[in-house]
Amino acid sequence: MDWKLELVVVPVSDVDRAKAFYLEQTGFRLDVDHRAGDFRVVQLSPPGSACAIALMHNLDRAGTLSGLHLVVRDIDAARAELVDRGAKPSEVFHFEEGGVQTPGPDPDRRDYGSFLSFSDPDGNEWLVQEVGWAGAAA
């Protein structure tokens, strides 16, 4: 039995503002923008991902989502792309012994060792991890 995660609901206060952010500032692609009366769902996918997000209007929960992870091959290139698109990502960081967050990429560029973060306009938080860089650099 396969169990595939294909959709994560992201609660937002303004669907149009969030849609613009994800399209323009993160480069997600628009999969669906469907309206049925007062109900609207906007579904977007990160480039290369099999899992999408659905922006759902929910004033009570807007900005409460955290722990969403994206995986990229080159954390520095990913950060540069977000900056070029007008997003405001954190600087790249890694964790040292004892879980101490430290500036810069993982010194050994180990998979899942280098990170950056960003938030959407409501404050939903994303973490970006680097995987595969060391293999690509060899």
What is the set of domains in the chain, with CATH numbers?
Answer: 7-137 (3.10.180.10)
pLDDT score of 138: 46
What is the mean pLDDT of the segment spanning 20-27? 98
Is pLDDT above 70 for 135?
no
pTM of full prediction above 0.85: yes
Which pLDDT belongs to residue 106?
95
What's the pLDDT tens digit per position in 24-67?
Answer: 999 999 999 999 998 898 999 999 999 999 999 999 999 999 99
* Mean pLDDT of the residues in the chain: 94
Distance separating alpha carbons of residues 17 and 93, to the nearest angstrom: 29
Cβ atoms < 10 Å from Cβ of 64:
13
What distance in Å separates the CA atoms of residue 120 and residue 16, rounded to the nearest whole number? 12
pLDDT in tens, 77-132: 999 999 999 999 999 999 998 999 999 999 999 999 999 999 999 999 999 999 98
Tell me: pLDDT of 75 over 50.
Answer: yes
Report the candidate in 33, 27, 16, 52 with the shortest Cα–Cα distance to residue 118. 27
Q: Walk across the sheet containing 7-12 and list its strands.
A: 7-12, 52-57, 39-45, 29-36
Average pLDDT in the 13-18 region? 97
